[in-house]
């Protein structure tokens, strides 16, 4: 049994949050650069230019990429041969989250659902983090982190279709969700689609799909083809960067598909804004 110090996890999580807050991942940066070249609308082209300039400023001056520094979302794979020394893994992730948001001068956006009161104050508290645990074989802990902002999350949807809906139904549904969203989720976006499983499995899959690098190819050729079809269809909507009209509404569509019940076809769509802040580490 391998032991990892509680404090090591706290530090790793804090570093991930601070880094993600200011440094746009290279895959996203490259995809935006390509989108700026391909975009036909001059207004949208200028918006993407501002987005890239913003990323340069944020990285160079260590300023938050966006004022909505999101809720902290983690996907954690815990090896069955690893033990945290000195506390619970969940507590360490939450402690690292609080430290990262405080020391990075990131906005705490967590509030009580009805009074809308901030649970502490404007900085230093963004708890609890949203953590999805998975138990796997091995002696490592694998942590994927994303800062999820409100604008893109608010347009996400899930629906359970009858099996007859098939691929055509899924394509039409994603188009409907993105068309209704318009410029609100800060396009150019990445679209995560979770298919199958149960209602909640599809939803979690649609979020996890957003962690895949833009430009990577789905290992399932059938899903790779469906991703390309949906991407083309969405880009025909004309929404463009920040909804100002254009040809590059989405940078990528990522699908995660799961086996499901014979009676159901659950589908979930989760949207990621252009400020795709995420990091992946293994301890």
Partner 1 sequence: MATYNLTTPLSSEDTKMLKAGDTVFLSGTIFTARDAAHKRLVELIEKGEELPFDLEGSVIYFVGPTPPKPGDPIGSAGPTTSYRMDSYSPTMLKHGSKGMIGKGKRNQEVKDACVAYDGIYFGATGGAGALLGKQIKSAEVIAYPELGPEAVRKLEVEKFPVTVINDTYGNDLYQMGREQYEVKD
Site residues (vs partner 1, CB under 8 A): 40-41, 43-44, 47, 50-51, 53-54, 57-58, 61, 63-69, 105-109, 116, 118, 121-123, 149-151, 154, 182-184, 186, 236-240, 242-247, 273-275
Distance of CA 53 to the CA centre of its chain: 21
Token pair of 186, please?
């800060």
* Dihedral pair phi/psi, residue 125, rounded to 5°: -150, 110
Q: Give me the least distance between CB of 269 and partner 1, in Å please.
A: 18
Task: Record the tokens describing residue 63, joined without a space.
Answer: 């300023």
- Angle at the Cα of 95 (from 88 to 200), degrees rounded to 5? 70
Nearer to partner 1, 67 or 216 (CB): 67
> Chain centroid to CA 254: how far?
11
Q: Could you report how far apart the first and last alpha carbons of the chain are, in Å? A: 14
Q: Is 195 exposed, middle or buried (0-12, 13-18, 19+ CB in 10 A)?
A: buried
Q: Output 147 or 269, the one with its CB closest to partner 1.
A: 147
Min dist. Cβ of residue 102 to partner 1 (A): 9
Q: Least distance in Å: CB of 249 to partner 1? A: 9
Nearest to 247 by CA among 193, 188, 191, 190: 188
Contact 159, 222 (CB under 8 A): no
Q: Is 214 in contact with 251 (CB distance < 8 Å)?
A: yes
Q: How near is the Cβ of 278 to partner 1 at its closest, in Å? A: 14
Q: Which is nearer to partner 1, 8 or 23 (CB)?
A: 23
Q: Which is nearer to partner 1, 184 or 198 (CB)?
A: 184
Q: Is 59 left (phi over 0), alpha (psi -120 to 50) or beta?
A: alpha
Measure the CA–CA gap between 48 and 242, rounded to whole angstroms: 9
Nearer to partner 1, 28 or 218 (CB): 28
Residues 6+ apart with CB under 8 A from 69: 21, 101, 104, 106, 107, 109, 126, 147, 149
* Smallest gap from residue 228 Cβ to partner 1 (A): 16
The residue among 4 and 106 lying less far from partner 1, judged by its C-beta, is 106
Smallest gap from Cβ 27 to partner 1, in A, equals 17
Task: Give min distance, CB of 63 to partner 1, in A.
Answer: 4
Query: CB-wise, 58 or 78, nearer to partner 1?
Result: 58
Q: Is 86 or 124 the residue whose CB approaches partner 1 more closely?
A: 124
Give me the least distance between CB of 204 and partner 1, in Å please: 24
d(Cα 53, Cα 35) in Å, to the nearest integer? 14
């Amino acid at each position: 049994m391998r032991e990892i110090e509680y404090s090591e996890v706290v530090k790793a999580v804090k570093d991930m949050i601070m880094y993600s807050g200011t440094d746009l991942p290279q895959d996203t940066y490259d995809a935006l650069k390509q989108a700026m070249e391909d975009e036909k609308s001059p207004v949208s082209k200028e918006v993407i230019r501002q987005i890239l300039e913003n990323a340069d400023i944020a990285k160079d001056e260590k300023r938050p990429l966006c004022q909505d520094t999101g809720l902290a979302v983690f996907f954690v794979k815990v090896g069955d041969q690893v033990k945290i020394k000195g506390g619970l893994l969940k507590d360490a992730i939450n402690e690292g989250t609080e430290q990262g948001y405080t020391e990075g001068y990131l906005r705490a956006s967590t509030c009580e659902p009805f009074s809308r009161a901030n649970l502490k104050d404007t900085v230093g508290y963004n708890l609890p983090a949203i953590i999805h645990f998975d138990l796997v074989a091995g002696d490592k802990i694998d942590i994927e982190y994303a800062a999820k902002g409100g604008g893109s999350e608010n347009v996400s949807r899930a629906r359970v279709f009858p099996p007859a809906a098939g691929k055509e139904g899924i394509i039409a549904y994603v188009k409907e969700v993105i068309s209704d969203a318009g410029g609100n989720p800060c396009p150019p976006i990445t679209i995560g689609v979770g298919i199958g499983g149960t209602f909640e499995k599809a939803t979690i899959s649609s979020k996890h799909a957003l962690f895949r690098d833009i430009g990577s190819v789905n290992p399932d050729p059938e899903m790779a083809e469906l991703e390309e079809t949906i991407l083309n269809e969405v880009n025909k909507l004309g929404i463009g960067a920040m909804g100002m009209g254009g040809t590059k509404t989405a940078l990528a569509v990522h699908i995660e598909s799961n086996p499901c019940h014979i009676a159901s076809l659950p589908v979930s769509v989760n949207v990621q804004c252009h400020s795709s802040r995420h990091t992946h580490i293994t301890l």
